[in-house]
Amino acid sequence: MAELRVNPTRMEMKRIQTRYQTARKGHKLLKDKRDELMKQFLDVVREDKALRERVEEALGKVYQSFTVASAVSSPKMLEEALICPKKEGELSVEYKNMMSVTVPVFHLRVHAEGGSDSYNYGMAFTSGELDSSLRELNSILEDLIRLAELEKTAQLLAEEIERTRRRVNALEYILMPQYLATIKTIKMKLDENERGNTTRLMKVKDMMLQAQLSQKRDSDDEEENA
Amino acid sequence: MYKIGIIGDRDTVLGFMALGFVVEDVKSTEEAAKKLHAMAKSGAYATIFITENYAMQIEEEMNRYKDMPLPAVISLPGQGGSTGYGMNNIRSAVERAVGADILFKE
């Protein structure tokens, strides 16, 4: 791992050590966040999957009876029957905070005249198949909305998890090893300097001793000669 | 209050009219994409359903709304029955989050 290019000083080392500590704390927090997000995400996805299976099956039935309905009555009549709905489906949206991800919560509100499962056409010109197809469709309306909500939540959570995972990995495999390597390099450099200093002092001491010794020897020689 | 939209073939989406959905029947992929953007941009829709036959072809356009809280753009099976495209979407979300497909292993 390439270390940072910094001056190998004690101060720089101290600074990087603090940053390393912060990175480690952040890494731990993000990892916890990722785990919790994952847990919630999997709950959502499991429910989403089950619901989608149910809805798709029900929709299949709806289409079947709808096809029959459109076969027995003319397209124009069918359209006429459906074109002005009695009902108006509206959603009110609340936002929920799920591990700091804003996810929508849908509430369905149906404005209907004369009961929510009344048909918006007369019985005279339409077939019974249309009735049953619409009844079926009506019964999965709540599920459809819930499906939309879950699927959206899953998408948003997936994005957040992906981002968190990247951050965790960046901290774990890039930033933290980089700091550690830098700290180690600085420490080695400082130690090396220390050793250099010691040797230098020893050398100087040696030289001084040598000088004193030779001085002493000279003065002894002089005394002997005298 | 938000509306619920559905985009798809005429025969498929007609029934949803009775539920009070705002129905856009389209004939081509381009039209579907255009309608999707118009609906999403208007900000009046919380949920936009698209039938699978179109959803498959305008995936890129749909992905644009993936990371926004609203609208929820959701694919539904069309007249031809489920093609597994919707399930595939869930699978890809799992793969994106977990890094591997852990729910649909077969």
The answer to whether the Cβ–Cβ distance between A134 and B15 falls below 8 Å is: yes
At residue A141, the pLDDT reads 85
Q: Which of A108-112, B43-47, B102-106 has the highest mean pLDDT?
A: B43-47
Task: Note the helical H segments in chain A.
Answer: 10-72, 75-83, 128-139, 141-169, 176-225
> From the list A49, A103, A144, which residue is nearest B90 (CB)?
A49
Residues 6+ apart with CB under 8 A from A94: A104, A105, A107
At residue A38, the pLDDT reads 92
> From the list B1, B16, B69, which residue is nearest A90 (CB)?
B1
At residue B44, the pLDDT reads 87
At residue A194, the pLDDT reads 95
At residue A126, the pLDDT reads 67
Q: Which residues of B touch A39 (CB under 8 A)?
A: none
A217 interface with B at CB cutoff 8 Å = no
Average pLDDT of every residue of chain A: 86
Is A168 in contact with A112 (CB distance < 8 Å)? no
At residue B67, the pLDDT reads 83
pLDDT at A173 over 70: yes
At residue B18, the pLDDT reads 77
> From the list A52, A111, A158, which residue is nearest B87 (CB)?
A52
- Using a pLDDT cut of 90, give the percent of chain A over it: 48
What are the domain boundaries of chain A?
A: 10-83+128-182
Residue B80 pLDDT grade (very low, low, confident, very high; cuts 50, 70, 90):
confident
Closest-CA residue of B relative to A132 is B15
Q: Mutation target for B interface from A151, A162, A164: give the one with most B CBs within 10 A.
A: A151
Which CATH architecture group holds B3-98?
A: 3-Layer(aba) Sandwich (3.40)
If you write DSSP's letter for every residue of A205-224 in order, what string do you get?
HHHHHHHHHHHHHHHHHHHH
Closest by CA position to B98, among listed A55, A174, A165? A165
The answer to whether the Cβ–Cβ distance between A90 and B20 falls below 8 Å is: yes
- Using a pLDDT cut of 70, give the percent of chain A over it: 90
Residue A186 pLDDT grade (very low, low, confident, very high; cuts 50, 70, 90):
very high
Q: What is the C-alpha radius of gyration for chain A, rounded to an integer number of angstroms?
A: 40
The answer to whether the Cβ–Cβ distance between A45 and B49 falls below 8 Å is: no
3-state secondary structure of A20: helix
The Cα–Cα gap between B104 and B106 comes to: 6
Under CATH, which number does the domain A10-83+128-182 receive? 1.10.287.3240
Mean pLDDT of A13-41: 94
Give the tokens for residue A2. 């390439």
pLDDT at A14 over 60: yes
At residue A165, the pLDDT reads 93
pLDDT (tens digit, 9 = 90+) per residue, A68-125?
877 777 777 777 777 666 677 788 888 888 888 888 888 888 776 655 555 666 666 6
Give the tokens for residue A159. 């994005």
Q: Which residues of B touch A38 (CB under 8 A)?
A: 97-98
At residue A20, the pLDDT reads 96
pTM: 0.81
The Cα–Cα gap between A63 and A51 comes to: 18
Mean pLDDT of B97-102: 80
List all residues of chain B from 76 to 95 with a beta carbon under 8 Å from chain A: 76-79, 81-82, 86-87, 89-90, 93-94
Between A179 and A115, name the one with better pLDDT.
A179
The Cα–Cα gap between B39 and B18 comes to: 20
Q: Is B99 left (phi over 0), alpha (psi -120 to 50) or beta?
A: left
At residue A197, the pLDDT reads 96
List all residues of chain A from 177 to 216 with a beta carbon under 8 Å from chain B: none
